[in-house]
Structure 1
Amino acid sequence: MRLREDTAADPDRDPVAVVHAALDAGVTMVDTADAYQNEELIGRTIRGRRGEVLLASKFGLVWGAGIAGSFEVRADPAYVQQACEASLRRLDVEVIDLYYLHHRSDTIPIEDTVGAMSDLVTQGKVRALGLSNVTAEDLRRAHAVHPIAALQEQWSVLQRDIETQLVPAAAGLGTVVVAHSPNGHGLMHQVRRTADEQLPSDLRAALEEVAGAHGATPGQVALAWVHHRQQVHDVPVIPLPGTTRVSHLRANVAAADLDLSDDELRRLDPTQAAS
């Protein structure tokens, strides 16, 4: 999401080097969106290695011209087609492997949006469909129109709202959960500098304790916790840690090898630790 051309002078933050380091490490999914405003960069970066990449992009968020950070949602069928064709041009690819609706619409029935997305599959412009920022009911209604391969939502040891309704719905439908912000937008990497109101003291202590036992960092433990959720919920889970540094990328990849014990997982769950 934050990869930009203007950091290329720093070898550790060169966006091309970051993506290539991921591919070299065996990471296969590269996730972007038209709203990230870097599809051209991603397209150039993966050129020559397209066969190694499961390329995901998103549509539906249109930035407002006035207030910084404001956006509107466009999910009408005509815009679906328009947005996809624009992304294909920017990415300079013939097909997008996984295409998401970036945010639910309050005005366009999700059946209409997914119906138009399904047309993209028929046209050969998209291989699979995904949803992001939706409800469990949205997911079920969408899946009735066309199989939803992936659900992308925020999921971390700090943010678990998804487990109440969305994860059970995804598990029931056979939808993979892509967990964005698995390190709490970087909070887990900054445990020692994080104020109590941002990260509960018991969770902070647990992250540090488990990290110490493994010779890892709290951020790596938090990422490993997300990897382990697929065992808890019986649903495939793909953590999606965004990074702009090669060094952080390598640390994130290493977290996949952390095997947390049942006791450690309970230690990271305040509700179970207190019981």
Structure 2
Amino acid sequence: MTCNLVQFSNSQMAVNVPRIKLGSQGLEVSKQGLGCMGMSTSYGAPKPEPEMIELIHHAINSGVTFLDTSDVYGPHTNEILLGKALKGGMREKVQLATKFAAMHKDGKMEIRGDPAYVRAACEASLKRLDVDCIDLYYVHRIDTRVPIEVTMGELKKLVEEGKIKYIGLSEASVSTIRRAHAIHPITAVQNEWSLWSRDLEEELVPACRELGIGIVPYSPLGRGFLSSGPKLIQNLSEGDFRKIFPRFQAENLEHNKLVYERICEMAARKGCTSSQLALAWVHHQGDDVSPIPGTTKIQNFNENVGALSVKLTPEEMTELSGLADLVKGERHAYMASTWKYVDTPPLSSWKAE
């Protein structure tokens, strides 16, 4: 089943992109952001740089000004791409978010949150991005060997030095968020959140709202599955890391396509695409939420922005929310590094080198 119900072109009518306050520290962003990872890494070969710069400029001119990258994307090449794209006066128009802590070493992922690495990573990102200050700097993954207070202490210094404006956490446990927030206010928590990834709703979302922390959902389209369904998996290129994700394995895929078909059925009733319906569901979670769907095509970007015009009734929200009960397979290929499993040791255990 496919649901390409609406065709979009570069000349489509403009959609007004609202602004929201992300967290309670003063950061204002577009209600929808742009995840830039897939332009350079993870989803197959890097895409042509001129085309990606054109896409980034198109996003900014369309009102999507919240750009998301990380030093591990490439590694490094995605930050360099954004640095080039933000030349010529574009930097002042955007809210630039990047991340640190995850690094490739000897074919494996290593997580580091020690002070020396925090500072070195920030300095390197500033250089690659060719900017004086990073608007939102996330701890990409939590180093379970280092008390979060130690990591946050160095980040606080970077704020005081004017090298970063706001601090974020990604895939952090509730206790880690609380401990970090006590050292310096956290502006945003980035976590996977979509129609079929809901594990954060019971504990993490209420904690963020209690503390005045904004929420940035990554993979709001289920890594593309909620846009394309099973054909996404059939067309993955070599090097696309989605091939190893549990929900895309044969034993789960046949079942999960039912979720996609149900989304398509409702999208047909609403006169929108499955992508727009799935993104609209995320937008309806609150005014403190800014999802960051990624794409490498202007047409898909235009379609995604159209989700901001899709209005859902409480009954439609309930129907869509119920689809999570049908999903089979873990949401991530590396669940051990996700928020439920990454508490850090107490500060009293830390011995600085």
Q: Does 1:222 align with 2:263?
A: no
- Residue 113 of structure 1 corresponds to 151
CA distance in 1 between counterparts of 2:157 and 2:63 reads 32
- Residue 45 of structure 1 corresponds to 85
Residue 152 of structure 1: how far off its partner (Å): 0.2
Matches within 5 A, 1:30-109: 30-36=67-73, 37=76, 38-48=78-88, 49-66=90-107, 70-109=108-147
How does the TM-score come out when normalised to structure 2?
0.71
- Residue 3 of structure 1 corresponds to 39
Residue 8 of structure 1: how far off its partner (Å): 2.4
- For the 8 Å contact 1:203–1:268, the answer to whether it is kept is no
- For the 8 Å contact 2:277–2:307, the answer to whether it is kept is yes
CA distance in 2 between counterparts of 1:71 and 1:192 reads 29
Residue 213 of structure 1: how far off its partner (Å): 1.8
| Paired residues, number | 264
CA distance in 1 between counterparts of 2:140 and 2:259 reads 30
Residue 272 of structure 1: how far off its partner (Å): 10
CA distance in 2 between counterparts of 1:203 and 1:168 reads 26
Residue 273 of structure 1: how far off its partner (Å): 9.7
- Residue 202 of structure 2 corresponds to 164
CA distance in 1 between counterparts of 2:148 and 2:67 reads 25
Higher helix share: 1
CA distance in 2 between counterparts of 1:222 and 1:191 reads 12
- For the 8 Å contact 2:193–2:218, the answer to whether it is kept is yes
The residue identity in structure 2 corresponding to 1:203 is V
**Cα deviation code 1:46-103 (max 9, x no counterpart):** 112111100000000111233xxx2100100111111000000000000000000000
- Residue 236 of structure 1 corresponds to 288
Identity between Structure 1 and Structure 2 (%): 41
Which runs of 5 or more residues in structure 1 are unaligned?
none
The residue identity in structure 2 corresponding to 1:210 is M
CA distance in 2 between counterparts of 1:17 and 1:215 reads 29
Change (3 A) 1:84 1:19: same
SS state of the match for residue 284, structure 2?
A: helix
Residue 196 of structure 1: how far off its partner (Å): 8.4
Residue 225 of structure 1: how far off its partner (Å): 0.5
SS state of the match for residue 38, structure 2?
A: coil
CA distance in 1 between counterparts of 2:160 and 2:176 reads 22
- Residue 150 of structure 1 corresponds to 188
Residue 192 of structure 1: how far off its partner (Å): 6.0
Residue 203 of structure 1: how far off its partner (Å): 3.0
- For the 8 Å contact 1:30–1:55, the answer to whether it is kept is yes
The residue identity in structure 1 corresponding to 2:92 is G
**Cα deviation code 1:92-124 (max 9, x no counterpart):** 000000000000111000010011101000000
- For the 8 Å contact 1:266–1:273, the answer to whether it is kept is no
- Residue 176 of structure 2 corresponds to 138
CA distance in 1 between counterparts of 2:168 and 2:63 reads 23
- Which runs of at least 4 in structure 1 moved beyond 6 Å after TM superposition? 271-274
- For the 8 Å contact 1:227–1:256, the answer to whether it is kept is yes
Which runs of 5 or more residues in structure 2 are unaligned?
1-36, 233-249, 327-353
What RMSD in Å do the two structures reach over aligned CA positions? Answer: 2.1
Residue 165 of structure 1: how far off its partner (Å): 1.1
- For the 8 Å contact 1:28–1:53, the answer to whether it is kept is yes
Matches within 5 A, 1:203-218: 203-218=259-274
CA distance in 1 between counterparts of 2:312 and 2:46 reads 38
How does the TM-score come out when normalised to structure 1?
0.90
